[in-house]
Every structure is written in C-alpha cells, then in structure tokens.
Amino acid sequence: MSTVESPSATGPSVNASYALAVLSATAEAGTAGADSRADSWAVPTDRLEYGEMRALWDEVLAAGDAGPHTGLLVGDRMRPDGLHILGHLILTCASLADAARAAERYHPLVSQAGTVTLHRRDGAARICYRPTVGPHAMHPQQVEAVVSSMVRAARWIAGDDWTPLAVSFAHPRAGAAEPYARVFGCPVTFDRQENAITVAGEDLDRRRPLYDPALNGLHRAYADRLLHQLSAAAPTVTERVREWLEHAALGDAGPEGPARQLNLSVRTLRRALHAEGTSWRALLDTARHGRARRLLETTALPLDRIAPLIGLSGATALVRAFTRWEGLPPGAYRSRHRGTGAGRGRA
C-alpha cells in the first residue's frame, strides 16, 4: 500500500473510504463475507491498490447471498461520507453540472481504474464512466456500483425524486430489469457503446437556491491538495507505460519498448500490469483512441493516413475501432469538432 493520499495518520484515504462504504452497503443489503475486511480497515489511512479493491469485490460477490444486482444496490446506498472529501464537495456544488465537472476532475481520488467524463450536446448531456483497466479486470457489478452511486450523488443535489433521462451500460444485463427501473427511474439499456447517464440540460444547469461558494472553495482546495499528492507519488508501471505510449510511434509499438525503458523483461512487465488490473493490449488500445481523437481534432489527414499512425491496418479498421471507442464514426466526430479548431480535411 502507498500512503500518498492521506493527509494525516488519523483519517482514511478517499478510496479506502469508498471501500468501507462498499462494505457498509453490502452489510445493509444483508450480504455476508465482508466483516473481516471491515475490522481490518477500521481506520484505513493507506490508499488501496486496485488489486485489493478487486479482491474486495470478489469476496462480496462470492458470498452466498450476493445476487446479480449487488453492485447496483451498493451504489444506490452510497452516502456522502463514502466518498470522503469528494462527497462533501458534491454536497456544496452549485448545480449538477458543477458536480459532474467535480466528478470528472476528482474521480482519481476514488479510483484510477476508470475515468468520468461530461459530454454536452443538443440540450442534453452524458456523464460517462469508462474503465481504464483490462476488460476482464473489473466486474460489471463494479461498473454498476459506480454508475448508480453517481445517480445517488446527483439526488443529493437535485432531490430524491430526480431521475435521469436514460442510463446505459456496455455489458449485458445479468438479472431482472425491475431493480434497474426502481433504482434509476428511467429507461436502462445494456450492450451499448458506453456506460452513461443522460441528463436533461435544464436539470444540469439548474442552480441550487442555497449555495455557499466559500464552503465549496474550501472543499475544492482540500481535494486539489490530495490530487496533487496523488499525482506526485511514485508512478506505477501502468502510469509509466501510459507515458511511454503517449510519445511512442504507435504504428510499430510493442511491449518490448517500455520494458526496455523500465529495465524489465516483457514477461515481468506483463505480470506487473496484470497485478495493477490492466494489460499491454488495453493500454495500447487506450493510447490509439487518444491519438486518433487528437489527429481528427487537429489535422486534416484522411483516415487512410491516420490509421497507420495509430497502428491500424487501414481506414476500415479505423472506422470500426473508432466507432467502438466513441459510439460514432470518425468522420462524424471530426465534423462535430470543426467548430473548435479541428481539421477540415476529408474523412
């Protein structure tokens, strides 16, 4: 364990607070098997590695009384203290839009195994959650816990009767539909391109009548300090591989490159990435996605020129991959960004 996140030896780190909240919520749901961990994390000052969080979920979901909706219900039972400073920051946000931007910025304090992003278009917005670990490293129920906790957090601001326009998940449904309808109060779909909460623009921008900017500023300053401590910590193997990929020629990138830079064998590198909940293939895919977005936004290069620059065989492969990443083809993505300085070349 690392201690980069705790400001003192007397309080829990943000992601350990979330771990305790998971255990508390499963206890409320009557799910057994987590008591021993709760005892050992009475005051968890250390930041948990992703493998430890995954082990917690393995234990929770292996309990005899766990069901297909355990993750959904865990997130819905989340309370502000379960997110430590992030929960208190959200409680003092001026609007749902303000809270969504806070989640986008400060989610790494809870976990670096996924990202939260806010996308606005045509009077509505999507708050998306994308795991950054390998596809088999995160239980679908972990994803459902994150998404349902975000809806629960929105209700701290908008009221318990607030509902999003829609919710989608990238994985298939594993249980009955009724609990999803009950928790979210809106249409819920599965096997989609992304894990997303769709929110009406007017709901997102409605300001709270009681808002204390000074208190919100205090919470942000504290969260910023924790975020700085986290970013200043010794980088993990995953972070160092991501940094290597950021500057690599993706057309011929292989694990031998970062392994050589880190003085590791390829086998050791792969083992280290697996222990951190990801893989070379997942990191390379993420790097290709980011590089493709930048090239589409900032250059006029046609697709058959972009494809080899990110290590794909041609325009067809790029269209297929980009549609999987973004839910729309690269030509449509480029057109959307033309008004913000993107390239105007042939797609």
Exposure class string for 17-39: b at 16+ Cβ within 10 A, else e: bbbbbbbbbbeebebebbeebee
Helices (H), the chain: 14-28, 35-40, 50-62, 70-76, 84-91, 96-110, 140-158, 178-184, 201-205, 213-232, 237-247, 256-261, 266-275, 280-298, 303-309, 315-326, 330-337
202 exposure class (CB count in 10 Å sphere: 0-12, 13-18, 19+): exposed
CA-to-CA separations, 258 to 21, 49, 81, 279, 287, in angstroms, rounded: 37, 22, 39, 13, 14
Q: Are 102 and 90 in contact (CB under 8 A)?
A: yes
* Binned average pLDDT, 10 residues per bin, the chain of 347 residues: 37 76 73 49 59 86 88 93 91 95 93 90 92 83 96 95 97 96 98 96 91 93 90 81 92 92 87 88 93 92 95 94 91 77 41
Angle of helix 280-298 relative to helix 330-337, nearest 10 degrees?
50
Q: Are 303 and 318 in contact (CB under 8 A)?
A: yes
Question: How far apart are alpha carbons 22 and 41 in whole angstroms?
Answer: 12
Distance of CA 130 to the CA centre of its chain: 5
Both structure tokens of 7 = 């400001």
Q: According to the model, what pLDDT value does residue 339 have?
A: 53
Question: How far apart are alpha carbons 265 and 222 in whole angstroms?
Answer: 40
Residue 200 has φ and ψ, to the nearest 5°, of -65, 140
Question: How far apart are alpha carbons 315 and 38 in whole angstroms?
Answer: 51
Q: Are 125 and 237 in contact (CB under 8 A)?
A: no
Angle of helix 280-298 relative to helix 237-247, nearest 10 degrees?
40
The amino acid that residue 6 corresponds to is S
Q: According to the model, what pLDDT value does residue 5 have?
A: 37
Both structure tokens of 37 = 């961990």
Residue 333 has φ and ψ, to the nearest 5°, of -65, -45
Can you tell me whether residue 80 is helix, strand or coil?
helix
